[in-house]
Every structure is written in structure tokens, then in C-alpha cells.
Structure 1
Amino acid sequence: MTTVAVRGESVREVEPELAEFTVVTGARDKDRQATLERLRERADALRQYLDRFGEGIEKRETGGLHVYPEAGRRGERVTAYNGSVSTTVTVTDFAALGEMMLAVAGRDQTQVHGPNWSLRPDSPVHKEARAAAVTDAIARAREYATALGAEVLELMELADPGLSGGRYEAQSAYPAYRGLSSKSAAAELQLDPQRQRVYAAVEARFTITSPTL
């Protein structure tokens, strides 16, 4: 029995489905309680502003709260207290994304990092890419069989590369990380969504009729 082993691949570039940015809100004061109160007020103001965008924001997640004393140069005497809280915002309304990030970046003691573009983990694009990779594997097997004067009979095995799980993933040709702060914000910000590169591959083995050599 003669077999042919091939690798099928598929590459697609598609528009992103999600944009994510992180907001770090800070506060500093000589009094610990004043630092905490100021931090709470700024965090609440951020939450209220983001509420305006409704369903345009898919989710908000608090990544960390940090409060620590700042000591002077001569010993352990505390001279001030620093605090920060980070919030990661996932957006589906790209039309409002620029306005949202600029407004947030213009707030006192606030840093904005992003956006990072991506596809949803369950995006149908992944399924379509895998199906296209299988089709490519079949086509390659037929090409090899034809070159040998034979025909493909049946599929013996179909697996992900290396038999270690799927190897389809969304990839970007260029870094998707950008940063904004209150000092760099402009009057308007036009954002161009970064197209996502989706790659899928499979390995397959087929039996073919006896080659004509």
C-alpha cells in the first residue's frame, strides 16, 4: 500500500473584533487617607464616564490596586503615599474608541495603554481557517498522486501539527501596542483597526493507487 503524507495550511487576514486598552489611575498625597479618597474619586469618575458607552464596551476588569508609602532620603520617615488602580477595558464599538481613549487620557494622574486588537477566541474565522487547511491538504495529496500517475483512495490520518493540539492563532504583522498619556493627547484621534492574521495547519496521510513510474 502506497501512502502520501502532506501538510495543509491556510492564512487569512481579517478585521479585528475587539480592542483592548488599560487605564492606570493614580493619586499621591502626604496623608494616607487623602490618597485613598482621591484614588476612589478618580476611579469612580472613570467608571461613570465609561458607563456612557453602554454596550459599546464588552467588559471592564480591575487588574490591580497598589498603595505604598514613599520614604525620604534620610531614613524611614514617610513623606507621601502613592496609590494606583488599573482597569482593562474591552471595546467592540471602534467608532467611539478614539474619543473614549482621549477623554480618559486627559484626566489627572491617568495613563492609557493600547489599543490591542484581537479576534474573539470562538470567532468563526478560526473554524473557517481550519476547514481551508483541510481542503489544502486534500488538494496537495491529489497533486502528488497525479504527479505519480496515481489516484487518492482514502484518508488514513488527519491531525494537528505535531499531534499536540491546534495551531491556529490570530497574529499581527506589527505590534499592536500604543500608549497615550494626558500630555500626548490630541484634539482628535483617528484609529485604524489592525487586521488580524489567522493561520491554521493540519497534517494528513492518504493511501493512493500504485504509482506509474
Structure 2
Amino acid sequence: MTNGTAEAPLVTVRGEARIETAPEIARVWVTVSARGRDRRHVLEDLTRRNATALDLIASYGDAVERVSSGSFSVAPEPTAYGRGERVRAYHGRVRIAARLTDFTALGELVTRLADLDLTSVEGPEWELRADSPVPAEARRTAARDAVRRAREYADALGTTLAALVSLTDDEPGRTPRSRSNFSRSVIQVSAAAAESAPAPLDLEPPQLSVEASAVARFTLHPPALNT
């Protein structure tokens, strides 16, 4: 039924829901770099720094749920002047992704990573798990809100709902994310602490908003509009 009739009037409503919840996952990305005039030395430095970063991440055990290596590149930087294929320097980069579930270790880990030579850290990105029950609860709440609104319209007309015609996602529930950025350049380490680990960053997980909406169509019992 696409249109209502006098015998079966149609009402279309939009139900909405918004749930605030704590994140379950924090993702960080680590970029290890190396630079020099000798390509072999750049590769050796990059390999060593990458291993150091991976070992540091692994030392946090179960706090790190998953770690993976991403893109890798070593590129020459040609000289600005002169003829021929002369290379001024080589630049190498490796990107590492880590997913943490223990947020108490997060601040210390990212601070120690950012304190490594030629290493930058991006994140954290706060998320819910793919199987989190929160989006489903938001959709259920949106459906109940649609029913409530339809009943309010029916009550205003002095009638009641007869049947549900359709129920669709207006905007399918999205897994929320919240992101912040930091790198070694914004972490200040005092001269007195240069030979020791820097103080951990205080990273407070934000509240994530999970939103859902649903469009519902109902038929009504014919209202007595003339009374």
C-alpha cells in the first residue's frame, strides 16, 4: 500500500534514538622513518627502528589486541640542481597499526612510542566493536519511538493504529568514532628526564554517540472526524 484510503488511513512517522556509551577499542598508527644518503644504511635504520617499535608494542601483552604492519616505502630525493640522476638522500617509512582494549596502558604506550627516534604516532581513534550490542539497542529504541509517535497522531484523531505497513532504516546505525592526533613534536620531555621514560599522556576516553532512525508506516482505524 503506497497511499492511504478512507477505509485505511495511512500515517508515516520517523523514530529516532541516540545512546551515549563508552568506547571499547582504541586504534593508534605508528610511522617509523629513516633518512640518509646511503640507501643500505636507510634500510638498516628503518629495519631496526621498526623492530624496536614492534617490540615495545608487544611488551604490553594482552593490552594490545592486534598489531599489523601497513605501508612501507623507501624513496630517493633527487638533487635540486645539476644534471643526471643524482640522489640527495633516501627517505624510508613503515606504518604500524595497533588496536588496544586496555585504556590504562594506552597513554604510556603512545608516549613511549612517540619518544622513539624519527617515530610519529597518530590517534587514538575510539570505537565500538563490530559486534557491540549498542547499535542494535539504538535501532530498537528508534522503532519504539516510531510506534510512540504514530500512536500520538492516532490519539490526536481519536482513533488507534490498525497495522504496520512497513519499517525501514532511515539512516542505518553507524559505528561511532572519535579521533585525536598527536606526535613526537608535541610531547615535551624535560632535560632532566631525557635519559628516562617521559611521563605518560593522560588520555581520557570520550563518550561516543550511537544514533539510529527508522521510518514506519501504519494504517489507522478510520477516525470519526465529524464528531
**TM-score, L = length of structure 1:** 0.92
Q: For 1:92 and 1:171, how far apart are their aligned partners in 2? A: 16
Q: For 2:134 and 2:121, how far apart are their aligned partners in 1? A: 30
- SS across alignment from 2:217: strand
Aligned residue type for 1:211: P
Match among 167, 170, 173 for residue 172 of structure 2: 167
Give yes or no for contact 2:128–2:176 (8 Å, CA) kept in 1.
no
2:192 match: none
Matched, 1:19 2:26: yes
> What does residue range 28-67 of structure 1 map to in structure 2 within 5 Å?
28-67=35-74
Q: Residues 16-36 of structure 1, C-alpha deviation per residue, up to 9 Å, x if partnerless?
A: 111111111011122111110
Match among 3, 11, 18 for residue 10 of structure 2: 3
Matched, 1:196 2:196: no
Tell me how far 1:119 sits from its aligned partner: 1.1
Q: For 1:55 and 1:180, how far apart are their aligned partners in 2? A: 24
Tell me how far 1:122 sits from its aligned partner: 2.0
Q: For 1:152 and 1:212, how far apart are their aligned partners in 2? A: 14
> What does residue range 130-141 of structure 1 map to in structure 2 within 5 Å?
130-141=139-150
Aligned length: 207
Match among 159, 177, 197 for residue 180 of structure 2: 177
Structure 1 unaligned regions, length at least 5: none
- Percent identity, aligned pairs only, is 40
**TM-score, L = length of structure 2:** 0.86
Tell me how far 1:189 sits from its aligned partner: 1.2
- SS across alignment from 2:14: strand
Tell me how far 1:188 sits from its aligned partner: 3.0
Structure 2 unaligned regions, length at least 5: 1-7, 190-198
Tell me how far 1:177 sits from its aligned partner: 2.2
Tell me how far 1:185 sits from its aligned partner: 4.4
Tell me how far 1:118 sits from its aligned partner: 1.2
Give the number of the structure whose alpha-carbon radius of gyration is greater: 2
